Amino acid sequence: DAKTTQPNSMESNEEEPVHLPCNHSTISGTDYIHWYRQLPSQGPEYVIHGLTSNVNNRMASLAIAEDRKSSTLILHRATLRDAAVYYCILMGQGGSEKLVFGKGTKLTVNP
């Protein structure tokens, strides 16, 4: 399974944008980039995923580098409820649907 590298922790202020980086230099051409987050005492929650193009949804935006070796999850206006551990995960095409979690980035949001 291809690996990802994320900072252990990041800090942000409420209502400011947050950019969470992820490096995946060994990504294959068919790997999708998935982001999940886990709030305290809950199971992981899907945030967003993409293959090559930047993606937007109601929760966040995903910016994918042209060479696909890195990506950035963007929370446009952080709220206290966004405080969580964010996981960047590569999932292959072909229906594996198996997630290989690293340690993720713990995001702290200050009021």
Partner 1 sequence: DAGVTQSPTHLIKTRGQQVTLRCSPKSGHDTVSWYQQALGQGPQFIFQYYEEEERQRGNFPDRFSGHQFPNYSSELNVNALLLGDSALYLCASTLLTGISEKLFFGSGTQLSVL
Residues that bind partner 1 (CB under 8 A): 32, 34, 36, 41-46, 49, 51, 85, 87, 91-104
CB nearer to partner 1: pick between 78 and 89: 89
Q: In the complex, what is the shortest distance from the CB of residue 76 to partner 1, in angstroms, rounded to a whole number?
A: 21
For the bound state, the minimum distance from the C-beta of residue 59 to partner 1, rounded and expressed in Å, comes to 12
The nearest distance, CB 14 to partner 1, in angstroms, is 26
Provide the minimum distance between the beta carbon of 49 and partner 1 in the complex, in angstroms, as a whole number.
6
Q: Which is nearer to partner 1, 66 or 97 (CB)?
A: 97
Q: Where are the beta strands (DSSP E) in 1-111?
A: 9-13, 18-23, 32-38, 45-50, 55-56, 61-64, 70-75, 84-91, 105-110
Distances (CA, A) of 104 to 30, 40, 56: 22, 14, 21
Q: Which two tokens stand for residue 1?
A: 């399974």
Nearer to partner 1, 101 or 110 (CB): 101
Q: Which is nearer to partner 1, 95 or 111 (CB)?
A: 95
- CA gap 24, 27 in Å, rounded: 6
Cα separations in angstroms, 19 against 28, 53, 75, 99, 105: 24, 17, 7, 22, 11
